[in-house]
Amino acid sequence: MSCRSRLSHQAGFSLVELMVALVINLLVIAGASELLANNRRTYRVDEANANMQDAMRFGHYLISGTIREAGFGCLGSISNVVNTLNDSTDLDYDFEDSIQGYDSDTGYPDEVASDVVSGSDVLVIRSGYGTQVSLESEMPDSSAVLKTTALESSPISTGDIVVLTDCSSAAIFQVTNYTDANGNIVHNTGNSVEPGNATKSFNHSYSAGSQVLKIHSVVYYLTDNEDGQRVLIERSNESGTVSLNEMVIGIEDMQITYGVDTDASDGVDEYVEAGDITDWNDVLSIRVALLMTSTEDNLTIEKQTYDFNGTTVTATDNRIYRSLSFVTALRNRTE
Would residue 43 count as lying in a domain? Answer: no
Q: Is residue 2 part of a domain?
A: no
Nearest to 171 by CA among 239, 85, 97: 85
Torsion of CA 88, 93, 95, 101, to 10 degrees: 110
With 0-12 / 13-18 / 19 or more C-beta atoms within 10 angstroms meaning exposed / middle / buried, residue 288 is buried
In which band, very low, low, confident or very high, does the pLDDT at 39 lie, cut at 50, 70 and 90?
Answer: low
Is the residue at 22 inside a domain? Answer: no
Q: What band does 132 get if pLDDT is binned at 50, 70 and 90?
A: very high
* DSSP element (H, E) containing 63: helix 15-68
The answer to whether position 300 is within a domain reads yes
8 Å CB contact between 216 and 70: no
pTM of the complete model: 0.86
Per-residue pLDDT of 198-209, as tens digits, reads 999 999 999 999
Strands 305-308, 283-293: pairing kind: unpaired
Query: How many whole angstroms separate alpha carbon 56 and alpha carbon 82?
Result: 38
In a domain, 176, yes or no: yes
User: Looking at beta carbons, which pairs linking 208-211 to residues 24 or more positions away fall under 8 Å?
Assistant: 208/134, 208/135, 208/136, 208/137, 208/138, 209/134, 209/135, 209/166, 210/134, 210/135, 210/164, 210/165, 210/166, 211/73, 211/74, 211/132, 211/133, 211/134, 211/135, 211/164, 211/165, 211/166
Strand order in the sheet with 321-329: 270-272, 251-260, 283-293, 321-329
Task: Give the structural domain span for 125.
Answer: 49-334
Confidence of residue 170 (pLDDT cuts 50, 70, 90): very high
- Residue 325 reports pLDDT greater than 60: yes
- Residue-wise DSSP of 144-183: PPEEB---SS-S--TT-EEEEE-SS-EEEEE-SEE-TTT-
Give the integer Cα–Cα distance in Å for 233 and 255. 15
Residue at 40 is within a domain: no
pLDDT over threshold 60, residue 1: no
Return the beta strands (E) in the chain as ranges.
81-83, 99-102, 122-134, 146-147, 161-165, 170-174, 177-178, 184-186, 211-224, 230-238, 241-249, 251-260, 270-272, 283-293, 305-308, 311-314, 321-329
Number of residues that make up the chain: 335
Percent of the chain with pLDDT over 90: 68
| Cα separations in angstroms, 229 against 43, 117, 274 | 22, 12, 26
35 domain residue, yes or no? no
Pairing assessment for the beta strands 230-238 and 211-224 based on DSSP bridges? antiparallel
Out of 71-80, 168-177, 307-316, least confident range = 71-80
Residue 297 inside a domain? The answer is yes
| Secondary structure of residue 121 in the 3-state scheme | coil
| Number of domain units in the chain | 1
